[in-house]
Structure 1
Amino acid sequence: MHYRTQDGHGLKHNPFKAIVAPRPIGWISSRDAAGRDNLAPYSFFNGVADSPPMIMFSVTGRKIGRGPEVKDSLSNIRETGVFAVNIVSWELKDAMNLTSGGYGHEEDEFALAGLEKADCVEIDCARVAAAPATLECRLWKEVSLPKASEDTDNAVILGSVVATHIDESLLTDGIFDLEKFHPVARCGYKDYAVVRELFQMTRPGGGDAPNLR
């Protein structure tokens, strides 16, 4: 089949998120100017550069006031200019899912999900203590995207990674070992995926240096 976006897909559910899959989950922790913490997962997330390290995630939600439909992550980052990206392991999948609900601004998702907080080092923000890794980020740029209506936000957040936390038990011969903690990814519909097996390939020309920078 083929369809033009403006005409619609005609299927029971939109296939877009299943086509662009799997997607790593950016479990974003942020703190507002009054010191209130927020934690929420975003599946339109990825690294965009490694030297210097940069990440992106996108946010869509109502932009007026505070409440379940307003993305507190975006409001907080606009206020403070910092946030942290926590990596989701298999063991943390249920806690991550719980924090995806539409809660009021006064709700602390760390407490709601029973997650221990740890302090970031370079920025004023909490992080998930049990996360396999956390990236401390400063806002580099917010890019506005086309949006469905004037009362919504649709934006890409680009962040500079200023510090990194890694659970040392997950290092194997100096390599961050995904098979030790099984990262969770988002697919389409209600589907998720988990990394349980890795395979390696060598780029044309031989050698592994380009892959292991």
Structure 2
Amino acid sequence: MKNALLAAALAFTATGAVAAPEKYALDSGHSQVVFSYNHLGFSTTYGMFAGFDGEIMFDAEDPAASSVAVSMPLMSMFTGWEKREAHFMSEELFGAKEGDMVTFTSTSIEVTGENTALITGDLTMNGITKSVVLDTVLNQKADSHPMENRPWLGFNATTTLSRTDFGVGMAAPYVSDEVEVRISIEAGKAE
């Protein structure tokens, strides 16, 4: 049986019947990046980013051949307290300027299950690029979104970052160096 499947795959490849990755654009209205960290052992502080832009090149036949590229304005960070956000953007931490972006570009995808994968990519933040791994779940793939009437994808992902890796380690380890990141995105097939 395995040989028959391999032969069929080779035959499709030889005849050019292999589907190419299809472009999906991020739905910024239904996508979130939420982060949290421990504050001095007393509480967990949460924040999020808005203003996404990005695309997924999704290969349904060979998910490992897919790719993702996302960007969001650093200054779109929201924590629920303006003084904290101002401190994050100050010279003590990010030294943020209008137009500074946080970007992620995938470099490889390892399929780990029917709807799961480890997406490795380059995360650039604060002018520093580090390789990170997103533990990812494909929540749903629909041929037609009920409101948008076109193909649609939904993913969740998690990772843990080190603030000091990105040059914003002030008060670590008292304020946790580890930042938990939870991502939930939707993307529609580009028209």
- The structure with the greater share of residues assigned to strand is 2
Asked which structure has the greater CA Rg, the reply is 2
TM-score (norm 2): 0.27
TM-score (norm 1): 0.25
